[in-house]
Amino acid sequence: GAVVSQHPSRVICKSGTSVKIECRSLDFQATTMFWYRQFPKQSLMLMATSNEGSKATYEQGVEKDKFLINHASLTLSTLTVTSAHPEDSSFYICSAKDRRGGPDTQYFGPGTRLTVL
Amino acid sequence: SQQGEEDPQALSIQEGENATMNCSYKTSINNLQWYRQNSGRGLVHLILIRSNEREKHSGRLRVTLDTSKKSSSLLITASRAADTASYFCATVLQAGTALIFGKGTTLSVSS
């Protein structure tokens, strides 16, 4: 089956630093990837839609200059949290659409837990 | 933005009992999906039901969809302790677009 990986799985950083999270589709090509954020005991909130070779589309209220998304290839999208603050501590999850599959074919990564001290 | 509202927010049952979770949404959808998430872990896709379908089964899972009421239900029969998790409904407004998740139901199954 289709596999999506995320790296790192956990990261702890100091306030003010930047953190990059990678989302990779391991055995399929993904023209579209989605980034979600989940705070403790809450649901997943869509942050942005990332299309290969073009700029990401951000949801209302998500700062594009703070959460930089790059989708430079059909198998890799990265989310960089710039100048991280403790309130950015969260569980970040990506999903990827298989370009060969139907429109409903999305596969989720295992998530990255970010803790900002 | 969020589209779905699940109820109950939390549900505690004994092993062997059935668990029913409901999801309501606000706008027309292309399909609705249910996911499970164990504490601190990733999502597991359970079932997808399209807007022109009314009921689907998968093992011990039964999902219904009522588009006139903009609601769906997930029934887990003969629950097990391993079913303990959070369950989310997620809607797709247009084919190929992102999933919009509901707030989730936390299910606890005690043995």
B12-70 pLDDT per residue, tens: 999 999 999 999 999 999 899 999 999 888 899 999 999 999 999 999 999 999 999 99
Span A87-106, mean pLDDT?
Answer: 86
What's residue B14's pLDDT?
97
* pLDDT value at A11 more than 60: yes
CA distance B18 to B99: 27
pLDDT recorded at residue B60: 97
Give the residue among B11, B12, B31 at the shortest CA–CA distance from B21: B11
Q: Is the dihedral of CA A102, A108, A109, A115 positive or negative?
A: positive
Give the mutation candidate from A34, A43, A95, A99 for the B interface (greatest B CB count, under 10 A): A43
What is the tens place of the pLDDT at every residue in A102-114? 667 789 999 999 9
Q: What is the pLDDT of residues A18-44, one digit of tens each?
A: 999 999 999 999 989 999 999 988 999
Asked if B88 contacts B74 with a C-beta cutoff of 8 angstroms, the reply is no
> Does B2 reach chain A within 8 Å, measured CB to CB?
yes
- Asked whether residue A6 carries a pLDDT value surpassing 70, the answer given is yes
Q: Which of A46, A32, A7, A5 is nearest to A105 (CA)?
A: A32
**Shortest distance, CA B108 to any CA of chain A (angstroms):** 14
What number of other Cβ atoms are within 10 A of residue B50's Cβ?
15
pLDDT score of B5 = 76
- Beta bridge mates, B43: B37
Measured CA to CA, the distance from residue B68 to residue B56 in angstroms comes to 17
